[in-house]
Amino acid sequence: MTTLSPIIEALREANAIAVLTGAGVSKESGIPTFRDAMQGLWAKYDPAELATPEAFARDPEKVTRWYDERRLRCSAARPNPGHRALADLQTWCEERGTSFTLITQNIDRFHQAAGSRDVIELHGTIWVWRCTDCGDEQEERGGPFERYPPRCACGGFRRPAVVWFGEMLPEAALRRAFEAAETCDLFLSIGTSGLVTPAADLIHIAHQHGAKTVEINTEPTPATALTDWALHAPASNILPELVHAMD
């Protein structure tokens, strides 16, 4: 495995750091990724077939029950040392006047719970549910819904404010993410498979604009070949060690 020394040096020398995190970071908190085998009552379903507007239109009860199970699982879990290390890295950067941008594909808001600020959420969040009729959004932090799908005050169905397959990413979030990738001089890709675009494009954009690139993931990805340093180990192990060495 790559030694941490050159990455530590690159972090110290950087004027602008951008970080992209994916499901692998939250998996270490006990949250299954979309590519993990589903369990229990959901074992016979393909997540990719539930996470679509068409699936919601066909069977809103089934889709919202599945997402509510994920919401409750997130509620029972906690940020791990990898999340906390990134919050500490942001503080370290701010104290030194280094630009720091955290971009995530995750919908659980564990980064914010760990102390990260101004997180760019490319895929929305499972904590906010939006009315499909009037567009009203409401944060849902309680127990299971009383009925599925949950209803808005106007009577419309509520759906999770996440980006489903076939939907566009939030324009403002995507624009900020691309700007960060284009202007950083160090880009870290952490816990992401590198398979889902346009998030997977960010490390390529950073590389094309001359940034040094780091991959931290438990296994190689399609982006591994273009990275300057690849660390194939759990982020919750690597990141605390990396950030601790910055002091």
- Measured in degrees and rounded to the nearest 5, phi and psi for residue 131 equal -70, 130
Helix (H, G, I), strand (E, B) or coil at 7: helix
Catalytic residue of the set 123, 207, 232, 244: 123
- DSSP alpha helices (H): ranges in the chain? 5-13, 23-27, 47-50, 53-58, 60-76, 81-96, 110-114, 171-183, 201-208, 235-244
123 counts as catalytic: yes
Centroid of chain to Cα 133: 27
Residues 140, 144, 149, 152: is their CA dihedral positive or negative?
negative
CA–CA dist 122, 144 (Å, integer)? 26
Label the pairing between strands 16-21 and 99-104: parallel
Active site residues: 123
